[in-house]
């Protein structure tokens, strides 16, 4: 750490674009609700990782993001914290329907994200569900329509879009594409295109995270993001 050398500019252009929170080093310094701050503290999260320092100020300011950082660098909180804050700031209630959707390639990852969401969102009053298959689609369908937040694998989500009566995405505020490179590697490109074609674009923020930035990830970004911030962290988190 330490103060910048006299006369040097402590802010990069990228940091300046993120606004006054660009220099934040801790969750406490970010513009978060007291509910999120308390939950993060209870979960033992204090200092931001490198990708969190880069991504959170932009994501909290409502911008689209294409973020790349290797596995284990803390990408999950880069989208879960803005997700919870976005719905909280809009005073989203259980009656407002689906506000945020997180897509991830595998059931295992979806369950991990869901566990993290339960921790981060525990002091907020929001309903969240997992759509990962493994249960009868009918059984999931009865609960899907009541959820503010869904964490899903692409195949299962598209199945609900096609088959579940009353499944509505028109109010969606935030779309997260997590591990986008793996989603594409696993052959879900067409499924993703179909999902994205069904979602509203007006007023929707999109956060795309990936361990690598391949050509197919950039193609997906062109399809799903609007004037995104490109953030890549290569060093240790
Ligand atoms: P990625 O999605 O980049 O692979 P994760 O979001 O799964 O990384 O985070 C990897 C690990 O780091 C998890 O165990 C998570 O709890 C932990 N972690 C994430 N952010 C922080 C933080 N700011 N402080 C301490 N641990 C963190
Ligand atoms: Mg991850």
What value, to the nearest 5°, has the Cα angle with vertex 235 and ends 229 and 185?
Answer: 65
Q: In this predicted structure, what is the pLDDT of residue 87?
A: 97
Question: What is the ipTM, given to two decimal places?
Answer: 0.99
Mean pLDDT of the chain, nearest integer: 90
pLDDT at 4: 44
Ligand 1 atom at minimum distance from 77 CA: 6
Q: Which of 175, 158, 160 is nearest to 99 (CA)?
A: 175
Please give the distance, rounded to the nearest whole angstrom, from the Cα atom of residue 25 to the centre of ligand 1: 15
| Percent of all residues in the chain with a pLDDT value above 70, rounded to a whole number | 91
Contact status, residue 28 vs residue 214, Cβ threshold 8 Å: no
* pLDDT of 237 higher than 80: no
What is the CA(193)–ligand 2 centre distance, in A?
Answer: 21
User: Which residue's CA is the nearest one to ligand 1's atom 23?
Assistant: 48
Residue 207 CA, ligand 1 centroid: distance in Å:
17
Q: Which residues line ligand 1 (CB under 6 A)?
A: 45, 47-49, 52, 69, 71-77
pLDDT at 15: 57
Domain residue limits, the chain: 62-233
Q: For 102-125, write each residue's pLDDT tens digit.
A: 999 999 999 999 999 999 999 999
* pLDDT band, residue 8 (cuts 50/70/90): very low
Q: Distance between CA atoms of 102 and 114, rounded to whole angstroms?
A: 10
Instruction: Count CB-CB contacts under 10 A for residue 160.
Output: 18
For ligand 1, atom 26, which residue shows the shortest CA distance? 45
Residue 42 pLDDT: 97
Residue 49 Cα: closest atom of ligand 1? 23
Instruction: Give the number of whichever ligand sits closest to the CA of residue 80.
Output: 1
Per-residue model confidence as pLDDT tens digits over 44-95: 999 999 999 999 999 999 999 999 999 999 999 999 999 999 999 999 998 8
Neighbouring C-beta atoms of residue 107, cutoff 10 Å: 16
pLDDT at 18: 65
How many CB atoms neighbour CB 1 within 10 A? 3
| Nearest residue by C-alpha to atom 12 in ligand 1 | 74
CATH class of the domain at 62-233: alpha beta
Contact present, 165 and 195 (Cβ < 8 Å): no
Query: Given ligand 1 and candidates 32, 65, 74, which is best to mutate, with the most ligand atoms within 8 Å of its CB?
Result: 74
């Amino acid at each position: 750490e330490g103060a910048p050398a006299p006369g040097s500019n402590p802010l990069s252009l990228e940091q300046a674009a993120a606004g006054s929170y660009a220099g934040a080093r801790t969750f406490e310094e970010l513009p978060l609700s007291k509910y999120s701050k308390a939950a993060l503290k209870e979960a033992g999260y204090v200092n931001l990782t490198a990708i969190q320092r880069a991504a959170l100020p932009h994501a909290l300011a409502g911008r689209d993001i294409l973020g790349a950082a290797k596995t284990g660098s803390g990408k999950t909180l880069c989208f879960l914290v803005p997700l919870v804050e976005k719905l909280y700031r809009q005073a989203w209630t259980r009656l407002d329907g689906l506000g945020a959707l997180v897509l991830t390639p595998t059931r295992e990852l979806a369950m991990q994200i869901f566990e993290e969401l339960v921790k981060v969102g525990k002091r907020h009053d929001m309903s969240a569900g997992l759509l990962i298959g493994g249960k009868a689609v009918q059984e999931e369908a009865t609960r899907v329509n009541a959820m503010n937040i869904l964490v899903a694998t692409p195949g299962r989500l598209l199945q609900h879009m096609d088959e579940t009566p009353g499944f509505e995405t028109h109010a969606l505020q935030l779309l997260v594409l997590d591990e986008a490179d793996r989603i594409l590697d696993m052959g879900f490109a067409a499924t993703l295109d179909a999902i994205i074609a069904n979602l509203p674009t007006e007023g929707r923020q999109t956060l795309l995270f990936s361990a690598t930035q391949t050509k197919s990830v950039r193609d997906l970004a062109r399809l799903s993001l609007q004037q995104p911030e490109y953030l890549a962290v290569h060093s240790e988190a």
